[in-house]
C-alpha cells in the first residue's frame, strides 16, 4: 500500500499538492487500491511522517515539494526496504531506494509564454507569482523567455503576492494585482500562485482578458477565458509511482520535460476557440525544437538569473 | 476569602472544560464520519503514550513555552504584544547568522551564542514598537501587527537573496555546521528513557524550563518585576511611586521579544539545522492563547504549552492514521481554547455554587 | 503618474478598503460597547464561506448574503456568550473563534462540495455584479453605442472619468459599506441606542444604575458586529470573488483591528483609516508607480511591506495616543 | 435590636398614620462567603431625612444598593409606601421613585452633564428632541434647587462637587421621591456640604424622603431626623437624632468610646526642613496651576493647607512628591532638589526622605490588585533593605508587614489579602503605615481621612501627631476644615494657585478661613 505526504500547503493548495492528490485518487479509483496520506502541519512532521509510514510498511512513500527531499534522503538510509519518491526535490547524492522526480517547468512555461505573446493584442502580458522564491522565478523566467521569443519588445509585468503563507491563499489580492496589471495594459496574465491564482483567473474572466492557469488544467474554470494552462503532470507522476508500487525503479532522478510529457500546455474544448491553428503550429514547432535541443530554454536554477526578465 | 478551594479552580474547572471541548470535538469527528473514541485513543496514545509521543509533544511545547512566556511578560506590563510571530521570525535569523558565522566546534559553545543571537534579534524586533509606544504613544497592537508582516518580508528577502546557497533553489539557508547540532532527547536520555533517534525534542526544552523559572523569578521576585507588575496594574500609581513608564515599556517588550526570539533555538537550530521560510509556523499566535490560558503565570504557561503540544502531536497522529483532514485538528484546537480559556466560567459558576452550598450547610451544621 | 492611473489606484483602494471598513465598523460597535473583538477575521471567514455556499446552492446572491450574515451572527453570539454571559476572556474567545472558523470552513466545504475546501465558482445571479450608476460610462453604454468601453473612456473628461471609473461600477456592498459610515455615526451620536452603547463601553455601572440592561446592550453591539462582518465576508466571496477559498480573509480582520485603533474608535476616522490602508495596499500593487516614485529598483519584499512600514511611520508621526473605551476588555462583574 | 425611635411620628411633613415611605424586612445578602447584610429591617417615614452610620465595611452601601436594585437580596422584603415592591434591577427602583447617589459616582466620564442626566431616561429612540427637552427640564430643576451646572460640561473636566450635583440632578430628573445619598460629603468642601444640606432640607420639606450615609457625625446631628447604626452587617440601633449625641452614636458604631477631638501638645518647631520658593506649574493645557507658591515647614510642625479642591493643592503635593514637574526652588534640609528631569521623580524624593500619602489612595497610593505586603513596599521596592541579593526578600517583607499591620490596626491583618479587599479606612491605614514607618523628614499627606470611619480617623490623626512629635515636618492638605483646624500648627490657605495667607489655628475661625478660601483678602498678599 502506498503512502502520500503532502507539503505544507496542504492537499487543497490549488497547485501541485492538489495535483498529487488528484493523481492518487485516480489511481485508487482505477485500481481499487487504497493509500494512506497526510497533510503535514509543521516542519518537524516531515521526518515524523516519513519514518512512521516507512515503519508501518507503506511502500512506496511518495512525497511532494522540494523541502522534504533532504530529510527524505537521510531517512531513506534507515529503511532500505522501503522505496521513497519525491516530486520537485533535489539531492546531490541519491540513495538507492529514492527516486526524485522533477519537472522542467520552465519549458512548459516557455510554451504558454509564447501563446500569451501571440494572443496579446497590447503586447503586454502579466505574471503573478505567489511568493518571491526561486521556484516561482523559475516559472516566470521560462514564461518571459517564451514571450520574448515571439515578441522581443513585448512588455512583461511581474508581481509577487506576498511574503507570508497567506500569499498563497489571497484571491482578493490576486484580483487586485490582475486589475493593476490590466490597467497597465496587460491582456494575458499567467498565475502561479496557488489559491491566489483563483482570483487572478476570475478577474481576468470578468475583465474580459485572458489568463493562464498552472499545474493542473484550469481551463474549465472559466471556459473561453482561460487561454491555456501550464500543465505539470504531478498527478501522472504520482499515479505512475503508485502503480509501479514497491517495484518502482529508484536510486536515480527523473526529469520530466516536454519530451516526457511531464509538462505542457492544456488544450481542450474550453479553450479550443482561443488557440488558432497558427498559434498551435508555432508552439508545436517550438516544442519539437526544445525537445530536439534546438531551442534552449534557460532555467532560472542554472545560475539564479533570468535572461528575459530581471526579477 | 475564596469560594472554592484552589485545587478546584486549578484542576477541576480546566478538566471539565477540557472534557466539554472533547465532547464537541467528538461530535465534529462523528460528523465527518470517523470514530471519535478511536480518535481520542489515538491522540492520547500517540502524544503521551510513549517516549516517541513525548518527544514530539515536548518539542512543540518548547516553542509554545517561549512564545507564551513572551506574551506573558509583556502582559504583566499591560502591553499586548501580538508581535511574537515576527520576533520569533527574526530570532530565527539571529540563530542562523550565528550558526553560520563560525565553524562551531561543539554545541556547548554554539548554543549560548545562538541563544544570544536569537534573543538579541527578537528583542531588536520588539524594540521599535516598544520605543514608539513609550515615546510617541503609538498603540503596541498596531505596531506589532505591522512588524509581523515586515518581519516576514525581511526573512523572505534574506533567505532568497542573501542566505540561500547559490546552488540551492530552496529558499532556505545552508545547513548549519555539525558542531551546532543540539543534543536531542535521544542523546540526552538514552540509557534511562529510550527516546527514538528521530524525536525532535532537544535540549532547548530544558532551556525553556529554565526560562519559566527565570521569568517567574523576574516577575515575582525581582525589583524590576515588581515595578513591571505595578505599572501593568496601575500606571498612575506607578508614576506616583517614581517608576519610569519608558523603562518598563522598553524593558518588558525587549524581554518579551527576546523570549519569542529564543523559540528559534528549538526549531531552527535544534530541529531543522537550517533556516527555512515560515519556521515559526504560527507559534507566535499560539503563544497568545497559551499565555491567556496560563493566566500569564509561568506554571500555567508550561501546562498550556504542553496541552498545545499534545494537540499538535495528537493531531499529527490523527492525520497519520485516520486520514483526518488537518483542518479538523485546527477545529479541535479552537474548541479547546474556547472551552478552557473563554467559557471557563460556564463551568466555574455552577461548581462555585456547589462549594458555597456545601460550606453553608457545614456552617449551619456546625452552629 | 497620470490621472487615469491615479483613478485606477483609487478604484482599487475602494475595493480593498471595503471589507476592512465593514470589519472595522463591526469592531467599532463591539469595542464601543466594551467587548474587544479579535475575532473579526473569524466572522468574515465564516460569512465568506456560507455566503458563497448558499449563493451557489440557491443561485441567489441575496440568499447567500443572508446565510453569510447568519453564520457570522452565530459566531458573534458565541463570542457574546463567552464574554458577556460567562464573563470570559474576550481575547481568548476571539482567538478561539479564529481557529474554529479557519478549520470549520474548509471541513464543511470539503464535505459539501468535494472541491478541495472551496466552493464551486459562482456565476450569474449568485454573484454581486457592479452597479452602473446613472450617467456613468460603463459596459451598458458601451453596448448601446456599440463602441468599446476603453474608447468611450478615453474621450471622457476628468470628472466624467472620476465618476464613471471610481464612483460608479462597484457592487452594491461597497455602497452599503460607505453608507454604513454615516449610519454608524448617526446611530452612535444621534440615537438613544448609540448614547447607551457609548456609555456601556465607558462605564457599564452607570448604564446599569440608570436602569438599562448592560447585557442587552452588549449583545446588541456584538450582534451588529456580526451583521457587518457578515456583509464583509459576503463581499469578499460573492462581490470581489466568485466563491470561497480557504483562509481567503488573509489577515484582513487584524488589519481592520489596527485600523480601528488607528481611527480611535470613531466612525469617520475609521473611513479614513481604512481608505488609507486600502490606498497603501493598492499602491504596493503598482510596481510601475513605485518605480516611477523611487529612484532605485525596489526588492519585491520592500514593496510588499511598504504599507506596513508606512502605517508605522504615520502612526508614530501624526497620530496621537489612542484611548480605548475605558471599560473595554473587562467583563461587567458586580459581585464576586 | 435597640430601637429607640418611633418612626411613624416625628418626621416632618408626614401625615400621621400614613405608611412609611420605605420599609425593609429581613434583608440578607452574602457576597460569596461574606455576609454583608444580616436580617436587616428598617423603616423610614415619608418626608424624613434618615441617617445611616457604621464603620467601613459594615454593609451600609450594600443595603442601599439592594434598595436601589443594584444588588439582589438573598432574602427579605421591600415595601415602598406600604406596597410590597419587587426591585430586581435599577429600572424597577427608578419606577418606584427611588434615586441613588453612589459612594463612587456612576457617571460616564467623557459624556457631558446633559448626556449623563438623560442616559436611561430618554424620551424616544432619537436624541434630538430628548436633548432639547431635557436641557430645558434640567435648567428648571437646577434653578429650582440652586444647583447650577453647565449642561455641556464634560464630567471629567468638572470638580467632584459638580459631579455630585449631576448625580442628584439625575435622580431629580427621574422624579425620585426617595433619594439615597451614600457618603455624599466625602469629597465636598464645607461650603458645598452646607449647600447640599440646604437642598436636602428643601427636598424634605417638599415631602421627599432622604437616606443619608455618612461618616461625619456632625452632619448626622445637623440634618437628619432619625439615624440608624450598622455594625458588621447588622442594624444595631435606630434613634431619633434629637435624642442622641455624637458621643453616643460613636460608641454605638465602634463599640467603645471614641475621641472625637484631636488631642495634641503644642508644637516645638525646630530647623527648617523644607523651603519652597516661587513654585510654578503649567499643566498640559497650558493653564498655570501654581502661580508662585512659597512657604516653609519646620521640623516638629504640621503645616495645613486649606482650600477648595482644585485650587492648586493637588499640584503642590504632586510637585513635592515628584509626580509633576515645576519651576522655582525647593530645598530639603538646605539642599536644592531637581524639579524637572531624571532626578525629579517619586523615587528621588523618597531617597531624600520625603514620604507621600497621596490624595487618591486607589489611583495612586495603592495597587489595588497587589497584596497588602506588596503595597507595604510599593514605592520603596528599590531599597536594599527589601532585597537579598538580586531578589526581593519577600518573606522578610511579609514579616515586616505583619508588624506594620498590627501597629496600624489594619483589619483584617492578613498580609496576603489584596488591597482591593480591604475597606477604605483600612486601605488608608496601609498607605499610612508604609509612609509613616519610613520615619521621613517630610511627610506629605493629602486627604488622609476621606471616606474613612470615625474609629479610623481618630487613629490616623494620632499617628500623624506622633510623627510630628518625633520632630518631623508634615505638610497636610485637606478639604476638611475640621481636620485642618484640629491637626495643623499653622494653616495656609490656597486659592487659585496662590497662598492667600497664613493663620494660626488658635487665632482664626472657620469664617475667616472660608473667606480666604474664596479668594477674599484684606489687602494682604497679592
Ligand atoms: N460587590 C461586592 N462583592 C463582594 N463583596 C462585597 C461587595 N461589595 C461589598 N462587599 C463586602 O460586603 C461588606 C459590606 O460592604 P459595604 O460596601 O456595604 O460597606 P459600607 O458599610 O458601605 O462601608 P464603607 O463605609 O466603607 O462605605 C464588606 O465586607 C465588603 O467587603
Ligand atoms: N466588586 C467588588 N468585589 C469585591 N469587593 C468589593 C467590590 N466592591 C467593593 N468591594 C469591597 O467592599 C468594601 C467596601 O467597598 P466600597 O465600595 O463601599 O468602598 P470603600 O472601600 O469603602 O471605599 P471608600 O471608603 O474609599 O469610598 C471594600 O472592602 C471593597 O474592597
Ligand atoms: Mg459604602
Ligand atoms: Mg467608604
For D293-342, write each residue's pLDDT tens digit.
999 999 999 999 998 878 899 999 999 999 999 999 999 999 999 999 88
Residue A159 confidence (pLDDT): 92
How many angstroms does the Cα of residue D200 sit away from the middle of ligand 1?
A: 25
Test site for ligand 1: of D423, D425, D454, most ligand atoms within 8 A of the Cβ: D423
Question: How deeply is A275 buried, as exposed, middle or buried, from its count of CB atoms within 10 A (0-12, 13-18, 19+)?
Answer: middle
Q: Report the greatest alpha carbon distance in chain A.
A: 57
**Residue D111 resides in a domain:** yes
Contact B345, C86 (CB under 8 A): yes
Instruction: Report whether pLDDT(B64) > 80.
Output: yes
Q: How much is the pLDDT for C336?
A: 59
Average pLDDT rounded to a whole number, residues A205-220: 91
Other beta carbons within 10 Å of D414 = 17
**3-class secondary-structure state, position A133:** coil
pLDDT band at B2 (very low <50, low <70, confident <90, very high): low
**Confidence check: pLDDT of D1 > 50:** no
User: What is the percent of chain B with per-residue pLDDT over 70, rounded to a whole number?
Assistant: 99
Query: What local confidence, expressed as pLDDT, does residue D115 receive?
Result: 94
Spacing of C-alpha D502 from chain mean position: 25
Q: In terms of domains, do D235 and D322 share one?
A: no
Residue pair B182/B202 in contact by the 8 Å Cβ criterion: yes
Burial class of residue C236 (count of CB atoms within 10 Å of its CB; 0-12, 13-18, 19+): buried
Asked if C8 contacts C266 with a C-beta cutoff of 8 angstroms, the reply is no
pLDDT in tens, C182-209: 999 999 999 999 999 999 999 999 999 9
Considering only CB atoms, which chain A residues are within 8 Å of C246? 12, 169, 195
Torsion of CA A175, A177, A179, A185, to 10 degrees: -150
Residue with cell 523572505: B156
Please tell me the predicted confidence (pLDDT) of residue D9. Answer: 39
pLDDT band at residue D13 using 50, 70 and 90 as cut-offs: very low
Flag whether D85 is in a domain. yes
- Mean pLDDT over each residue of chain D, to the nearest integer: 89
| pLDDT at residue B275 tops 80 | yes
> pLDDT digit string (tens) for C246-299?
899 988 998 999 899 889 999 999 999 999 999 988 988 888 888 788 777 788
Q: Which residues contact C286 (CB under 8 A, 6 or more apart)?
A: A180, A184, C5, C9
Q: What domains, with CATH codes, occur in chain C?
A: 3-119+150-315 (1.10.3470)
Spatial strand order in the sheet of A226-232? A155-162, A124-131, A188-192, A210-215, A226-232, A263-265
pLDDT at D8 over 50: no
Range of the domain at D354: 272-370+440-517
Cis peptide, bond prior to residue A60, ω within 30 of zero = yes
Quick check: D496 pLDDT over 60? yes
What are the grid coordinates assigned to B222, written together?
A: 525581582
Q: How many domains does chain D have?
A: 2
Average pLDDT over residues D146-153: 88
| Domain identity same for D203 and D132 | yes
The reply to whether omega before C46 is within 30° of 0 (cis) is: no
Residue of C nearest to A183 (CA): C8
Pair (D37, D148) in one structural domain: yes
Instruction: Return the residue whose CA atom lies nearest to atom 5 of ligand 2.
Output: D421
The set of protein residues with a Cβ atom below 6 angstroms from ligand 1 is C 334-336; D 31, 34, 36, 54, 56-62, 103, 423-424, 453
C298-310 pLDDT tens trace: 888 888 888 899 8
Candidate from B356-365, C4-13, D299-308 with smallest mean pLDDT: B356-365
- Whole-number percent of chain D with pLDDT over 90: 63
- Best C186, C190, C210 member to test D by mutation, with max D CBs in 10 Å, is C210
- Residues of chain D contacting residue C202, judged by C-beta atoms under 8 Å apart: 108-111
D339 and D458 in a single domain? The answer is yes
Q: Quick one: average pLDDT of C167-174?
A: 88
Q: What is the band of D7 on the pLDDT scale with cuts at 50, 70, 90? A: very low
Question: Which residue's alpha carbon is at the smallest distance from atom 18 of ligand 2?
Answer: D61
Percentage of the residues of chain C whose pLDDT score is greater than 90: 60
Q: Which residue of C has its CA nearest to D123?
A: C192
Stated as kind and residue range, the H or E segment containing A18 is helix A16-31
Query: Least CA distance to C323: which residue of chain B?
Result: B139
In this predicted model, what pLDDT tens digit does every residue of A40-57 receive, in sequence order? 888 888 989 999 999 999
Query: How far away is chain D from the Cα of C142, in angstroms, using its nearest Cα?
Result: 46
Question: pLDDT tens digits for C223-249?
Answer: 999 999 999 999 999 999 999 998 999
Mean pLDDT, residues D441-451 taken together: 92
Q: Which residue in the set D33, D350, D366 is minimally distant from B242, CB to CB? A: D350
Q: Are residues D183 and D234 in the same domain?
A: yes
- Look at residue C219 and tell me whether its pLDDT is greater than 60: yes
Q: B76 is written with which cell numbers?
A: 504583566
Mean pLDDT of chain B: 91
Please determine, for residue D353, whether its predicted confidence score (pLDDT) is greater than 90: yes
Return the sign of the alpha-carbon dihedral for residues B37, B43, B48, B50: positive
Cell readout for D46 is 415619608
User: Which residues, by Cβ under 5 Å, contact ligand 3, an ion?
Assistant: D 61, 103
Q: State the number of CA atoms in the 13 A half-sphere of D359 facing the CB.
A: 18
Q: Whose CA is nearest to atom 6 of ligand 1?
A: D31
Higher pLDDT, D422 or C72: C72
Residue C148, C-alpha cell as written in the block: 468599446
D184 or B73, higher pLDDT:
B73
Q: Are residues D136 and D238 part of one domain?
A: yes
Phi, psi (rounded to 5 degrees) for D106: -105, 70
For residue D279, how far is its CA from the centre of ligand 3 (angstroms)? 38
Domain for residue D402, yes or no? Answer: no
* Identity of the highest mean pLDDT range in A237-241, C75-79, D412-416: C75-79
Contacts for D234 with CB less than 8 Å, ≥ 6 apart: D38, D39, D40, D59
C-alpha cell of C301? 519584499
The mean predicted confidence, pLDDT, of chain A is 91
User: pLDDT band at residue A228, thresholds of 50, 70 and 90?
Assistant: very high
Q: What share of chain C is helix, strand, coil (3-state, %, to 5)?
A: 75, 0, 25
Q: Tell me, yes or no, whether D291 lies in a domain.
A: yes
Residues of D in contact with C330 (CB under 8 A): none
CATH of the domain at D72: 3.40.50.300
- Report, as an integer, the average pLDDT of D67-94: 93
**Is pLDDT of D464 > 80?**
yes
**Average pLDDT for A263-282:** 92
Do the beta carbons of residue C307 and residue C280 sit within 8 Å?
A: yes
Best residue among D29, D421, D457 to mutate for probing ligand 2's pocket (most ligand atoms within 8 Å of CB) is: D421
Percentage of chain D exceeding pLDDT 70: 96
**CA closest to C334 among chain D residues:** D71
Note the pLDDT of residue D337.
92
Amino acid at each position: 500500500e502506498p503512502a502520500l505526504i503532502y507539503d505544507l500547503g496542504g492537499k487543497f493548495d490549488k497547485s501541485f499538492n492538489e495535483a498529487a492528490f488528484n493523481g492518487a485518487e485516480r489511481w485508487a479509483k482505477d485500481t481499487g487500491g487504497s493509500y494512506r496520506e497526510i497533510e503535514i502541519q509543521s516542519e518537524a512532521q516531515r521526518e515524523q511522517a516519513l519514518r512512521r509510514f516507512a515503519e508501518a510498511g507503506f511502500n512506496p512513500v511518495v512525497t511532494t515539494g522540494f523541502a522534504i527531499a533532504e530529510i527524505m534522503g537521510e531517512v531513506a538510509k534507515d529503511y532500505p526496504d522501503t522505496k521513497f519518491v519525491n516530486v520537485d526535490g533535489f539531492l546531490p547524492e541519491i540513495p538507492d531506494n529514492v527516486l526524485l522526480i522533477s519537472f522542467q517547468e520552465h519549458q512548459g512555461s516557455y510554451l504558454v509564454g509564447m501563446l500569451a505573446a501571440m494572443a496579446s493584442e497590447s503586447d503586454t502580458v502579466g505574471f503573478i507569482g505567489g511568493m518571491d522564491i526561486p521556484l516561482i522565478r523559475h516559472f516566470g523566467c521560462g514564461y518571459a523567455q517564451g514571450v520574448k521569443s515571439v515578441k522581443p519588445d513585448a512588455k512583461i509585468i511581474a508581481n509577487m503576492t506576498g511574503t507570508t503563507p497567506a500569499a498563497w491563499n489571497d484571491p482578493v489580492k490576486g484580483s487586485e494585482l490582475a486589475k493593476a496589471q490590466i490597467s497597465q495594459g496587460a491582456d494575458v496574465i499567467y498565475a502561479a500562485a496557488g489559491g491566489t491564482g483563483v482570483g487572478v483567473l476570475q478577474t481576468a474572466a470578468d475583465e474580459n482578458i485572458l489568463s493562464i492557469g498552472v499545474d493542473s488544467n484550469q481551463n474549465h474554470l472559466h471556459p473561453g477565458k482561460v487561454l491555456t494552462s501550464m500543465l505539470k503532470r504531478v498527478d501522472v507522476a504520482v499515479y505512475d509511482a503508485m502503480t509501479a508500487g514497491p517495484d518502482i525503479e529508484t536510486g536515480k532522478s527523473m526529469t520530466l520535460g516536454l519530451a516526457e510529457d511531464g509538462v505542457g500546455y492544456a488544450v481542450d474544448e474550453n479553450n479550443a476557440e482561443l488557440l488558432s491553428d497558427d498559434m498551435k503550429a508555432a508552439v508545436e514547432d517550438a516544442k519539437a525544437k526544445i525537445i530536439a535541443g534546438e531551442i534552449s530554454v534557460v532555467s532560472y536554477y542554472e545560475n539564479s538569473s533570468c535572461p528575459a526578465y530581471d526579477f | 476569602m475564596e469560594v472554592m478551594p484552589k485545587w478546584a479552580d486549578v484542576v477541576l474547572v480546566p478538566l471539565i472544560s477540557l472534557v466539554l471541548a472533547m465532547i464537541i470535538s467528538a461530535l465534529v469527528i462523528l460528523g465527518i464520519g470517523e470514530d471519535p473514541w478511536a480518535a481520542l485513543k489515538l491522540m492520547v496514545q500517540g502524544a503521551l503514550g510513549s517516549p516517541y509521543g513525548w518527544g514530539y509533544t515536548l518539542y512543540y511545547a518548547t516553542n509554545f513555552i517561549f512564545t507564551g512566556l513572551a506574551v506573558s511578560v509583556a502582559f504583566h506590563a499591560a502591553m499586548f504584544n501580538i508581535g511574537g510571530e515576527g520576533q520569533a521570525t527574526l530570532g530565527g535569523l539571529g540563530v542562523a547568522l550565528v550558526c553560520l558565522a563560525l565553524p562551531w566546534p561543539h554545541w556547548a559553545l554554539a548554543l549560548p551564542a545562538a541563544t544570544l543571537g536569537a534573543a538579541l534579534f527578537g528583542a531588536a524586533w520588539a524594540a521599535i514598537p516598544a520605543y514608539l509606544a513609550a515615546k510617541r504613544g503609538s498603540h503596541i497592537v498596531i505596531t506589532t501587527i505591522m512588524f509581523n508582516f515586515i518581519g516576514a518580508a525581511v526573512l523572505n528577502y534574506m533567505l532568497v537573496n542573501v542566505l540561500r546557497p547559490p546552488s540551492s533553489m530552496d529558499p532556505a539557508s545552508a545547513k548549519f555546521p555539525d558542531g551546532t547540532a543540539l543534543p536531542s532527547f535521544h542523546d540526552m536520555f538514552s540509557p534511562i528513557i529510550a527516546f527514538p533517534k528521530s524525536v525532535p525534542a532537544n535540549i532547548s526544552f530544558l532551556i525553556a524550563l529554565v526560562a519559566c523559572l527565570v521569568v517567574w523569578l523576574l516577575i515575582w521576585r525581582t525589583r524590576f518585576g515588581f515595578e513591571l507588575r505595578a505599572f501593568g496594574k496601575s500606571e498612575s500609581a506607578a508614576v506616583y511611586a517614581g517608576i519610569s513608564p519608558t523603562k518598563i515599556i522598553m524593558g518588558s517588550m525587549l524581554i518579551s521579544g527576546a523570549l519569542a526570539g529564543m523559540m528559534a533555538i528549538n526549531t531552527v537550530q535544534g530541529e531543522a539545522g537550517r533556516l527555512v521560510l515560515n519556521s515559526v509556523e504560527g507559534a507566535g499566535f499560539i503563544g497568545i492563547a497559551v499565555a491567556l490560558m496560563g493566566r500569564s503565570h509561568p506554571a500555567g504557561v508550561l501546562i498550556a504549552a504542553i496541552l498545545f503540544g499534545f494537540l499538535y502531536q495528537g493531531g499529527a497522529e490523527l492525520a497519520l492514521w485516520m486520514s483526518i483532514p488537518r483542518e479538523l485538528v485546527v477545529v479541535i484546537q479552537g474548541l479547546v481554547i474556547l472551552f478552557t480559556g473563554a467559557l471557563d466560567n460556564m463551568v466555574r459558576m455552577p461548581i462555585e455554587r456547589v462549594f458555597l452550598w456545601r460550606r453553608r450547610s457545614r456552617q449551619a451544621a456546625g452552629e | 503618474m497620470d490621472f487615469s492611473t491615479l483613478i485606477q489606484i483609487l478604484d482599487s483602494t475602494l475595493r480593498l478598503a471595503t471589507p476592512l471598513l465593514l470589519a472595522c465598523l463591526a469592531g467599532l460597535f463591539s469595542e464601543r460597547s466594551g467587548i474587544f473583538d479579535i475575532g473579526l477575521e473569524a466572522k468574515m471567514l465564516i460569512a465568506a464561506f456560507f455566503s458563497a455556499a448558499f449563493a451557489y446552492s440557491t443561485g441567489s446572491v441575496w440568499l447567500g448574503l443572508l446565510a453569510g450574515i447568519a453564520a457570522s451572527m452565530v459566531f458573534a453570539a458565541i463570542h457574546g456568550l463567552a464574554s458577556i454571559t460567562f464573563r470570559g476572556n474576550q481575547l481568548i474567545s476571539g482567538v478561539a473563534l479564529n481557529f474554529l472558523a479557519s478549520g470549520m470552513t474548509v471541513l464543511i466545504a470539503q464535505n459539501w462540495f468535494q472541491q478541495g475546501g472551496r466552493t464551486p465558482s459562482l456565476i450569474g445571479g449568485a454573484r454581486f455584479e457592479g452597479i452602473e450608476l446613472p450617467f456613468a460610462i460603463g459596459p451598458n453604454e458601451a453596448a448601446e453605442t456599440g463602441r468599446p468601453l476603453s474608447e468611450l473612456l478615453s474621450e471622457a473628461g476628468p470628472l466624467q472619468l472620476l465618476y464613471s471609473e471610481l464612483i460608479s461600477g462597484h457592487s452594491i456592498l461597497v455602497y452599503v459599506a460607505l453608507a454604513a459610515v454615516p449610519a454608524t455615526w448617526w446611530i452612535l451620536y444621534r440615537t438613544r441606542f448609540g448614547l447607551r452603547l457609548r456609555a456601556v463601553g465607558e462605564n457599564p455601572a452607570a448604564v446599569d444604575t440608570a436602569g438599562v440592561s448592560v447585557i442587552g446592550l452588549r449583545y446588541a453591539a456584538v450582534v451588529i458586529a456580526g451583521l457587518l462582518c457578515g456583509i464583509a465576508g459576503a463581499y469578499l466571496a460573492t462581490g470581489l470573488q466568485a466563491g470561497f477559498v480557504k483562509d481567503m480573509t488573509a489577515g484582513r480582520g487584524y488589519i481592520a483591528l489596527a485600523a480601528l485603533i488607528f481611527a480611535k474608535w470613531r466612525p469617520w476616522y475609521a473611513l479614513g483609516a481604512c481608505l488609507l490602508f486600502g490606498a497603501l495596499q493598492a499602491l504596493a500593487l503598482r510596481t510601475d508607480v513605485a518605480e516611477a516614485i523611487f529612484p532605485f529598483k525596489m526588492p519585491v519584499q520592500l514593496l510588499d511591506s511598504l504599507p506596513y512600514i508606512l502605517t508605522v511611520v504615520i502612526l508614530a508621526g501624526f497620530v496621537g495616543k489612542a484611548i480605548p473605551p475605558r471599560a473595554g476588555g473587562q467583563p461587567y462583574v458586580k459581585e464576586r | 435590636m435597640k430601637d429607640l425611635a418611633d418612626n411613624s411620628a416625628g418626621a416632618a411633613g408626614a401625615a400621621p398614620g400614613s405608611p412609611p415611605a420605605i420599609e425593609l424586612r429581613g434583608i440578607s445578602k452574602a457576597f460569596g462567603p461574606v455576609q454583608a447584610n444580616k436580617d436587616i429591617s428598617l423603616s423610614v417615614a415619608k418626608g424624613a431625612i434618615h441617617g445611616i452610620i457604621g464603620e467601613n465595611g459594615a454593609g451600609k452601601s450594600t443595603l442601599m444598593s439592594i434598595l436601589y436594585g443594584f444588588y439582589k437580596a438573598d432574602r427579605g422584603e421591600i415595601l415602598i409606601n406600604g406596597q410590597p415592591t419587587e426591585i430586581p434591577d435599577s429600572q424597577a427602583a427608578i419606577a418606584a421613585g427611588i434615586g441613588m447617589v453612589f459612594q463612587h459616582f456612576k457617571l460616564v466620564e467623557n459624556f457631558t452633564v446633559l448626556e449623563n442626566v438623560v442616559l436611561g431616561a430618554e424620551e424616544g429612540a432619537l436624541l434630538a428632541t430628548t436633548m432639547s427637552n431635557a436641557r430645558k427640564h434640567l435648567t428648571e430643576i437646577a434653578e429650582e434647587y440652586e444647583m447650577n451646572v453647565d449642561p455641556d460640561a464634560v464630567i471629567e473636566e468638572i470638580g467632584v462637587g459638580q459631579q455630585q450635583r449631576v448625580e442628584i440632578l439625575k435622580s431629580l430628573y427621574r422624579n425620585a421621591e426617595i433619594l439615597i445619598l451614600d457618603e455624599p460629603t466625602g469629597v465636598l468642601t464645607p461650603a458645598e456640604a452646607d449647600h447640599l444640606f440646604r437642598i436636602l432640607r428643601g427636598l424634605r420639606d417638599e415631602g421627599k424622603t432622604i437616606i443619608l450615609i455618612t461618616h461625619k457625625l456632625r452632619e448626622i446631628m445637623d440634618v437628619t431626623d432619625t439615624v440608624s447604626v450598622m455594625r458588621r452587617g447588622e442594624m444595631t440601633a435606630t434613634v431619633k437624632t434629637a435624642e442622641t449625641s455624637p458621643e453616643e452614636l460613636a460608641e454605638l458604631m465602634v463599640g467603645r468610646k471614641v475621641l472625637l477631638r484631636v488631642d495634641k501638645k503644642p508644637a516645638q518647631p525646630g530647623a527648617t526642613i523644607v523651603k519652597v520658593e516661587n513654585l510654578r506649574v503649567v499643566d498640559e493645557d497650558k493653564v498655570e496651576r501654581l502661580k508662585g507658591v512659597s512657604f516653609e515647614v519646620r521640623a516638629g510642625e504640621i503645616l495645613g493647607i486649606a482650600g477648595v479642591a482644585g485650587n492648586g493643592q493637588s499640584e503642590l503635593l504632586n510637585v513635592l512628591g515628584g509626580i509633576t514637574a515645576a519651576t522655582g526652588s525647593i530645598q530639603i534640609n538646605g539642599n536644592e532638589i531637581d524639579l524637572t528631569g531624571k532626578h525629579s521623580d517619586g523615587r528621588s524624593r523618597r531617597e531624600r526622605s520625603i514620604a507621600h500619602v497621596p490624595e487618591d489612595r486607589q489611583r495612586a497610593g495603592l495597587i489595588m490588585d497587589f497584596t497588602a505586603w506588596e503595597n507595604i513596599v510599593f514605592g520603596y521596592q528599590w531599597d536594599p533593605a527589601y532585597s537579598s541579593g538580586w531578589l526581593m526578600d519577600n518573606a522578610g517583607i511579609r514579616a515586616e508587614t505583619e508588624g506594620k499591620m498590627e501597629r496600624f490596626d489594619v483589619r483584617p491583618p492578613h498580609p496576603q489579602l489584596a488591597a482591593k479587599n480591604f475597606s477604605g479606612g483600612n486601605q488608608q491605614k496601609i498607605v499610612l503605615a508604609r509612609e509613616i514607618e519610613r520615619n521621613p523628614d517630610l511627610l506629605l499627606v493629602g486627604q488622609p481621612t476621606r471616606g474613612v470611619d470615625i474609629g479610623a480617623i481618630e487613629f490616623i490623626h494620632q499617628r500623624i501627631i506622633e510623627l510630628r512629635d518625633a520632630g518631623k515636618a508634615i505638610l497636610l492638605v485637606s478639604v476638611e476644615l475640621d481636620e485642618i483646624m484640629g491637626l495643623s500648627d499653622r494653616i495656609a490657605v490656597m486659592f487659585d494657585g496662590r497662598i492667600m495667607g497664613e493663620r494660626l489655628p488658635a487665632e482664626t475661625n472657620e469664617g475667616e478661613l472660608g473667606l480666604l478660601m474664596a479668594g477674599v483678602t484684606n489687602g494682604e498678599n497679592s
